[in-house]
Amino acid sequence: MKKVIWIITLLVFITGCKRENTTTDVKTEQDKKSVRTVQLNIDMTEEEKLQKVADEGYQPWRNNPIDVAQAALINAGVDVKLADCKLLSEDADKAVITANDERGDYKIICKRLVKTGGIWTATEVEVTETGNSVSEDIHGEFMDHEHMGHEH
């Protein structure tokens, strides 16, 4: 009987050790990632001007949320190609695009702020940093994208 109690005690101890190690490994992996959300500064007067330009047939890329998301990231210093950007979801007034580079993963929220069916504007970026260096490139003032020479 003492032998059975000793084996059960040993098994409980070993099982407890494994759980602790697994939890520590998961926590260590989570600690390596930093997630932050950046609200982008939007100038509605400028967005209205850009909408008029798009209505006249110029800068058609502003009608595609993936192109707008890529332009916003490029203006923030993130080196992403159009092929790196994937549409996660889209409805009439909001689209979510994901992209990544060697420093991290990005979730870009684009909205149609001026009118339904109008141009897309990047309004928010969620940055999950996974690389060795912490990216400080993305901040709320990089939305000066009206001068972007992005053509499709």
Dump pLDDT digits (tens) for 93-150: 999 999 998 889 999 999 999 999 999 999 999 999 876 554 455 554 444 444 344 4
| pTM above threshold 0.85 | no
Does 130 lie in the same domain as 79?
yes
Does 38 lie in the same domain as 27?
no
Question: Residue 122 has what pLDDT?
Answer: 98
CA distance 106 to 99: 5
Does 93 lie in the same domain as 26?
no
Cα-based distances in Å from 42 to 45, 105, 144: 9, 23, 9
Question: Residue 136 has what pLDDT?
Answer: 52
Does 43 lie in the same domain as 12?
no
Does 74 lie in the same domain as 103?
yes
- Domain tally, the chain: 2
- The gap between the terminal CA atoms of the chain, to the nearest Å, is 79
Question: Residue 141 has what pLDDT?
Answer: 42
Residue 152 lies in a domain: no
Number of residues written out for the chain: 152
pLDDT (average), residues 23-42 = 67
Question: Residue 103 has what pLDDT?
Answer: 86
- Is 9 a residue whose pLDDT tops 60? no
CB-CB neighbours of 8 under 10 Å: 10
Are the C-beta atoms of residues 32 and 131 closer than 8 Å to each other?
Answer: no
Please give the residue range of the domain that contains residue 134.
34-147
Cα-based distances in Å from 144 to 36, 47, 54, 83, 152: 21, 11, 17, 23, 19
